[in-house]
Amino acid sequence: MRRLRPAYPRPDRAGWRRWLPSPRQWLGGLLGAVGLLALFLVGAYAATDIPTNLNSYATQQDNVYFWSDGTPMARTGWVRRQAMPLKDIPEDVRWAVLAAENESFYSDPGISVKGLTRALWRTVGEGDTEGGSTITQQYVKNVYLTQNQTVSRKFTEAMIALKLDNRMSKDQILEGYLNTSWFGRGTYGIQRAAQAYYGKDVTHLNASQAAFLASLLKGAGLYDPTLSKANHKRAVERWSWTLDRMVKIGKLSAAERATYKKFPEPLKSARTYDTGKQSDYLVELAQQYAKKAAHISDKQFDLGGYQIYTTFDRERETALTDAVAKARKQAKKDAPKLAATAHYGAASVATDGRILAVYGGPDHRTQGYNESNASTVRAGSAFLPFVYAAGLEHGVRKTRSGPTTEVTPQTLYDGDDGVPVTTPEGPYWDRSGKVVTAHNDGNKSYGRIALGKALAQSVNTPFMQLGMDTGLDKVSATAEAAGLLESSIGPQVPALSLGNSTPSAIRMASGYATFAAEGKHTEPYSVRRITRNGATVPLATPTARRAITARVAEQVSAALTDALNSAHPTVATPTAAGKSGTTADDTAAWYAGSVDSVSTAVVVYRMDLAKSLEPLPLKGLAGTSDDSVPYAVWSGATGLG
């Protein structure tokens, strides 16, 4: 034992050299460390069990959406996911994945020592665990573990992978991997990926298409070519590289590879929703809000299992949809050419922010955007209430340094047509050197008119000047506080007061709801509760905040009530208020207003999406001031029709 015990410090050396281990001591220490490491790994391997419970995605569910009354509205997700037996997955598809992800799959022990070392080095040196997973390791991570990028998870993954490789055949592992991996577009598994990207079963894929799908395993958000030009470039490079790797490892002939010169472009979009009618638009709104308010990632949401309780009212949705359908039918009968490019956007929003109903378009499956949520056309004179509210709230200033003068509904302004717009320094000149003048519908003059009456009669000229006197910045701020998005507010020029902003129907309804809510605004929302497998998912719900004073809101509402009663005396009711909106270039017609505690906004416009995003003249499609199509839809949706 004395002879085996190392002499340290070394007696045959002097000075600092006596503290240097001898070659024998170095060797002994190294062998001891290796032995301890081996014992540790053997113990860890023996102590690691393959979990009996699969991750939730292995029993992936659909997402269920409910109406506000709690009844089911729609179901979405790939819940009919078909787990394909490996024998039904073409060899070209299998080897495309293996060539891209793990060409040594059939010969490795289930782990990559080189990859694990690289992952550990990156973790210690750079703070992440990227690199080096075999398909067995990826399968273990997906099926049994979390996606957390930690050293402990990586170590556990390796131990389970080793044990799994001894208990399952390679074909079984590959089959499980191909059926459970995420490919984006809401799909798990190679079969659903083939359907989502190429509209066919995996059995009909060729090597070229398989090579593209294999690239998605690196991250669908980076390699789905339909998402961006950068994605398209990455996808093409990865596709070409994968085909070349298949040739290199002898799984694709050079002759066949030569036939795949053109990138196999996938479908532009998968059918995410298949619920029918307006439910598609409702699902779209609810899904977007749920992900944002509950901080749910796309990947988490695609796993399914969420119960999403929406704010949508079934009866109001039916009434709004029927009212638009009636208007569409009449338009096709009266003016079929104009009706071909007609668009109708509508929304009903409660004073507490709940979106109760929307009309997004004729069919979500053929139209790629929601007309109720689109900021495409100008608000026109439907914007006047926000100018009026700003003046009542902030007062006006006739000189730069003078005092602010209070504005009331009785304050008189010039209502004549062609009145020049003025500033404290004189007339307002546009960039072309012309004096800007205000005009009324039909170039009608009204003389001196009280602001409250001017709003009720939709006289434009007083409000164009009121906006200048109040300050266009205050007008914009008031509109935004009431519910319009900053991104939709028009340029800060006199025309702002006459509606050069482009709010969506949802936002216009939300803005008018602020007046009905005594000046308090609540951001519109479409989801009131979310659960997942019975557990409540934390959800941020908007709260009311003061936008304008209650007194100002009451004064605006009074003028809107007068506007509705004077234009439509047969439906006069003290709980209803609203006004029409037109644009000078005849590209949009609006009606917005409230009944009780619900505000509804309707817009009609023309746009030939195949040619341009520029609005086209309505040419009578929206009716006349006495027989307005937007009002007909509004009254039908609100029950006043």
Of the candidates 124, 189, 134, the residue with the CA atom closest to the CA atom of residue 158: 134
CB 68 within 8 A of CB 75: no
Point out the residues of the chain with pLDDT beneath 50: 1, 41, 44-45, 47-48, 79-80, 123-131, 146-148, 272-274
CB 159 within 8 A of CB 44: yes
Q: Would you give the distance in Å from CA 190 to the centre of its chain?
A: 26
CB 468 within 8 A of CB 422: yes
pLDDT at 275: 56
Task: Report DSSP letters for 272-328, one per residue.
Answer: -----TTHHHHHHHHHHHHHHHHT--HHHHHH--EEEEE---HHHHHHHHHHHHHHH
| Tokens describing residue 560 | 């809107």
pLDDT at 19: 64
CB 423 within 8 A of CB 470: no
Q: How far apart are CA 94 and CA 98, in angstroms?
A: 6
| Tokens describing residue 509 | 């309804």
Q: How far apart are CA 540 and CA 525, in angstroms?
A: 10
| Tokens describing residue 261 | 């010169």
pLDDT at 581: 95
Axis crossing angle, helix 170-180 with helix 91-101, rounded to the nearest 10: 90
Whether pTM > 0.85 for this model: the answer is no
Query: CA quadruple 13, 17, 23, 25: dihedral positive or negative?
Result: positive
Quick one: which H or E segment has residue 164? helix 151-167
pLDDT at 128: 41
Q: How far apart are CA 449 and CA 589, in angstroms?
A: 25
